[in-house]
Structures are given as C-alpha cells and as structure tokens.
Amino acid sequence: MKVALVTGASSGIGLACAVAAARAGFSVVATVRSPAAEPAVRAAAGQAGVPVEVVSLEVTDPASVDRCLAAVIDRHGRLDALVNNAGNAGLRTTLELGPLAALRASMEVNFFGVVGVSRAAMPHLRASHGRLVTISSVRGVIGQPFSEGYSAAKFAVEGFMEALAPVAAEVGVSVSLVEPAAVLDTAFIANAPTDPAATPSGPYAAAFDRYRQWVGTGAVEGAQTAAEVAAEVVRALTDDRPAFRIQTSEYARRYVARKLADPDGSAVQQLTRSWLRP
C-alpha cells in the first residue's frame, strides 16, 4: 500500500486531505503540532470509516522533522507522497506596523517549514517515484493587502517549487502546487496570531476597514469546503500526469488567470525541463 504523509492535519484542509487520501487507498500518516489534537483527528478518521495514523510534528524543528520521517520509514518502509499543508495565516498588518519578528515567523512556518519537510522526504520520494504536493494559495499568485507576510511566504513557496519541479522530475518525483481561494470550514483564520499593536491604525485605518468589509463579503465569493480542496489534492496524488499548478475551483482559476498566462504551469514546466535535456 502506498504511504502518504500529510502535515498540519489537525483540522481544516489538512484533516480533509488525510481522510480523502485514506479513502483513496493510501496508508496515511497525519501530523499534528500538538499531541492534544491527536484524539480529534482519530475521531474524525473513525467517523469517516478510514484508518489514519497520527504523529506529532513541528515543521520548524529539524529534529522533529527527522524523527517524523524516521518513524514513517521504520513503520512502513517507504514514503510515496508528501502533502505539505502545515502553516499559519500570519498577522493582518502592514509593513510600517508589523514587527519583523512576525514576518520572520511567518516565513519560518509557511516557507522554511515546507522546505525542511520536503528536503527530509525527498530521498524517500525519489526511491518510490512519488509525489510532492504543497498547499499554496491564490495569495501566492496575487498578493493580498494586509496579508503581506503570508503572501510573501506563499510567493516563496511557489517560486521554490516551480524551480524544483523540473529537477525533481528528472529523478522521478512529481511536484504540484494546489491553490485554493477562500475555504470557510476551517479554523485557519481564527487560529492566526494576533498583536493589537500591529493592527492597522492611523493613516491605514480607513483602508483596513474597507479591507475587512471586503473580506466579509467579496472574499467569500467562490468559497469552498475543505473536502472540495482535498479532492483536488487526491487528484494530484493519483493522476498519471498531474499538473504542476492546480487551482481548486473555477473561481480560483479565474482569479489567478488575471496574473498567469499559464494557469496550470505546464508551459513553464515544459520550458524549464527542456533546459535539463540534451
């Protein structure tokens, strides 16, 4: 049985991905940051009627990453897929007001955490000719006001994976980015860090008020469920030739197409892979 490791699986998209991958026939290892979340994940998997193994993982801690990957290989002997989902939304703030420490923290979790787990998984994915799937965001294509740190991290993830994909393909590993828009049935925004001192005020207050109004109305246009996003992740795990860039809805495709003339990334991948061939 193929083995999939899903990070950030305590709720929302990560949990939905773990359940959907198990339903698709994978032996799933779902990671959570806090051991306190393990019973809820097991309960959700049990309710769905699928087995899911739950382990603790802190993506920003290299020792934790190494222990997690070693445990997967010790138990299963292989790894066929990694779904990078762990992350946080970062502060809603702007350059002048947001502390640099918060920006660094966002990059540490949302970018370096993804890179660290992917790096540890890569030898095993290479051995299995496996899949490396990362949950990105439409905010990784079009920067969102007052989400500067999160957008920057997702832009970094997109650039990193776009550069990695043709190299990984040469050693048999398929790399994909999954780009959702708004997902309503998740605690992602509610769990975002807060800092009253960084809340946009003064000359930024009026713009921030308008932004919050947009989030409460326009941002929910095209919103999806976590299960709908997970269905696209399973496609990335199981299709014979998955696209590099996968938007999870027609709304998301239209959204990123405003910036991307190559919405699924195939033209860019064809170009960059051609540089690696004689």
List, by residue number, the catalytic residues.
Answer: 150
Q: Is the Cβ–Cβ distance between 211 and 147 less than 8 Å?
A: no
Place of tokens 């920067």: 143
Nearest of 243, 225, 248 to residue 19 by alpha carbon: 225
Q: How far apart are CA 35 and CA 49, in angstroms?
A: 22
Q: Which pair of structure tokens corresponds to residue 165? A: 């994909």
Q: How far apart are CA 59 and CA 154, in angstroms?
A: 16
Q: How far apart are CA 137 and CA 151, in angstroms?
A: 8
Q: Is the Cβ–Cβ distance between 62 and 37 less than 8 Å?
A: no
